[in-house]
């Protein structure tokens, strides 16, 4: 390749770095709750939804407070309102299985429980969700056939140790105080509802629960793969799309499951037959996959010349993961020839930024 002027590459690299910083949250920190030094962990869970108005309002309340949560959804309600179910996950929250029609599993056969869980899973996936392997039995009620069916279907049942009793009685302040009284040092799983008649009152209690609990030293989290307060740890993989001279190579970073929080990885471009600082700008970026998304695209500008050349390549190295496991440490990126394209005729800016796209 004919090498572009160094000032142009330096400008592209500087602009790319600025865009990357803007993609991350302020001060370079991810907006997930930090748990070091917490008095205890609090995982908010909500059952029986989705219910259009109440669930969407709850999502807004949680987002404003920067609080994660896990939603245990009823299959027939997901099927009736897939858009609201989808909005929950896309807002960054984890979803889980709460049976098809909220029937007491103590009264169901082994086969009926399996049918219920599978039908709910199908409805959630048809709605565009990526549900966890967690489930909650209606009323917290289980018998031996149901336990066996849950296990054989690949689910982990999750109960609670802080009950709001929001379905039964109390105004918003009383519900909040009920929850706060039950919080203890260690792990707390709070039960509330977004799909019952009294759910709007329970949603109104969330703000006070969050404010007071944080003041007392508690930290909020979601539920991890074991059904305990924490976060799932997805695996991140990278797939490269070759770049043409004068355009951009694209590397797609993909999580294999939702994380319930923002995740991040540092990417660095390493020279191969295509040279960093010559054929493409030096790249060192912290790339964030926002909560509620499974995929982000990294675009890397490639310089052009008027020569006909064999395909070249460079490597994008992945390191310093936060909230994810690396399925690979690098990916090779190809550069194909675009002979005859004059640099002065190229439209647009000299770089394409790191971008995030919703799945």
List, as one string, the DSSP characters of 230-246: E---PEEEEEEE-EETT
Of residues 4 and 224, which shows the higher confidence score?
224
Percent of the chain with pLDDT over 90: 78
pLDDT at 344 over 90: no
Average pLDDT in the chain: 87
Please tell me the predicted confidence (pLDDT) of residue 338.
67
DSSP-derived letter for residue 275 is: P
pLDDT tens digits, residue range 69-128? 999 999 999 999 999 999 999 999 999 999 999 999 999 999 999 999 999 999 999 999
Please tell me the predicted confidence (pLDDT) of residue 34.
61
Please tell me the predicted confidence (pLDDT) of residue 306.
61
In 3D, which of 293, 245, 272, 251 has the Cα closest to residue 92?
A: 293
Where do the CATH 3.20.20.370 domains begin and end in the chain? 40-230
pLDDT tens digits, residue range 154-180? 999 999 999 999 999 999 999 999 999
Please tell me the predicted confidence (pLDDT) of residue 19.
32
> Band of the pLDDT at 337, cuts 50, 70, 90?
confident
Please tell me the predicted confidence (pLDDT) of residue 309.
67
pLDDT at 307 over 90: no
CA distance 154 to 216: 37
Q: Which H or E run contains 340?
A: none
Which tokens belong to 68?
């994660």
pLDDT at 327 over 90: yes
Q: Are 210 and 61 in contact (CB under 8 A)?
A: no
Which tokens belong to 172?
């918003």
Please tell me the predicted confidence (pLDDT) of residue 246.
86
Task: Name the pTM for this structure.
Answer: 0.84
Please tell me the predicted confidence (pLDDT) of residue 27.
32
Mean pLDDT to the nearest integer, 306-319: 85
Q: Are 210 and 220 in contact (CB under 8 A)?
A: yes
Q: Are 269 and 316 in contact (CB under 8 A)?
A: yes
Residue with tokens 């499974």: 294
Q: Which H or E run contains 9?
A: helix 6-23
Tell me the H-state helices in 143-198.
Answer: 144-152, 172-182
Residue 279 CA neighbour count, 13 Å, CB half: 26
Where do the CATH 2.60.40.2030 domains begin and end in the chain? 6-29+232-356
pLDDT tens digits, residue range 269-286? 999 999 998 889 998 999
Mean pLDDT to the nearest integer, 228-246: 95
Q: Which CATH number applies to 40-230?
A: 3.20.20.370
CA distance 157 to 227: 8
In 3D, which of 91, 106, 186 has the Cα closest to residue 138?
A: 106
CA distance 317 to 265: 10
Burial of 223 (0-12, 13-18, 19+ CB in 10 A): buried
pLDDT at 7 over 70: no
Fold of the 6-29+232-356 domain: Immunoglobulin-like (2.60.40)
pLDDT tens digits, residue range 185-218? 999 999 999 999 999 999 999 999 999 999 999 9
The residues, ordered by sequence, that sit 6+ positions from 162 with a Cβ below 8 Å of its Cβ are: 42, 179, 182, 183, 188, 189, 190, 191
pLDDT at 32 over 70: no
Backbone angles phi, psi at 105, to 5 degrees: -75, -10
**Least confident among 8-12, 34-38, 156-160, 272-276:** 8-12
Mean pLDDT to the nearest integer, 250-275: 96
Q: Which H or E run contains 331?
A: strand 330-336
Mean pLDDT to the nearest integer, 344-356: 37
């Amino acid at each position: 390749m004919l090498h572009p002027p160094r000032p142009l590459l330096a400008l592209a690299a500087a602009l790319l770095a600025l865009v990357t910083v803007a993609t991350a949250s302020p001060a370079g920190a991810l907006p997930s709750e930090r748990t070091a030094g917490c008095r205890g962990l609090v995982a908010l869970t909500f059952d029986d939804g989705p219910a259009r108005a109440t669930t969407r309002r709850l999502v807004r309340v949680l987002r404003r407070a920067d609080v994660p949560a896990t939603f245990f959804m009823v299959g027939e309600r997901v099927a009736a309102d897939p858009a609201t179910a989808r909005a929950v996950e896309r807002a960054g929250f984890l979803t889980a299985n709460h049976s098809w029609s909220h029937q007491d599993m103590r009264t169901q056969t082994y086969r009926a429980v399996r049918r219920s869980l599978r039908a709910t899973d199908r409805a959630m996936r048809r709605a565009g969700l990526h549900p966890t392997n967690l489930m909650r039995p209606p009323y917290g009620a289980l018998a031996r056939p149901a336990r066996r069916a849950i296990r054989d279907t690949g689910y982990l049942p999750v109960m609670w140790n802080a009950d709001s009793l929001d379905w039964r009685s109390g105004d918003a302040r009383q519900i909040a105080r009920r929850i706060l009284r039950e919080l203890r040092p260690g792990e707390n799983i709070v039960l509330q509802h977004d799909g019952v008649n009294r759910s709007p009152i329970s949603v109104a209690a969330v703000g006070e629960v969050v404010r007071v609990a944080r003041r007392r030293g508690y930290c909020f989290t979601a539920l991890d793969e074991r059904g305990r307060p924490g976060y799932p740890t997805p695996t991140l993989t990278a797939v490269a799309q070759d770049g043409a001279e004068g355009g951009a190579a694209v590397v797609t970073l993909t999580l294999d499951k939702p994380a319930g929080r923002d995740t991040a990885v540092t990417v660095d471009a390493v020279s191969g037959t295509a040279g960093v600082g010559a054929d493409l700008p030096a790249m060192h970026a912290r790339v964030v996959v926002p909560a509620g998304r499974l995929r982000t695209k990294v675009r890397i500008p490639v310089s052009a010349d008027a020569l006909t050349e064999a395909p070249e390549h460079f490597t994008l190295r992945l390191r310093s993961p936060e909230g994810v496991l690396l399925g690979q440490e690098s990916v090779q990126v190809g550069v194909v020839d675009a002979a005859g394209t004059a640099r002065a005729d190229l439209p647009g800016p000299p770089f394409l930024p790191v971008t995030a796209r919703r799945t």
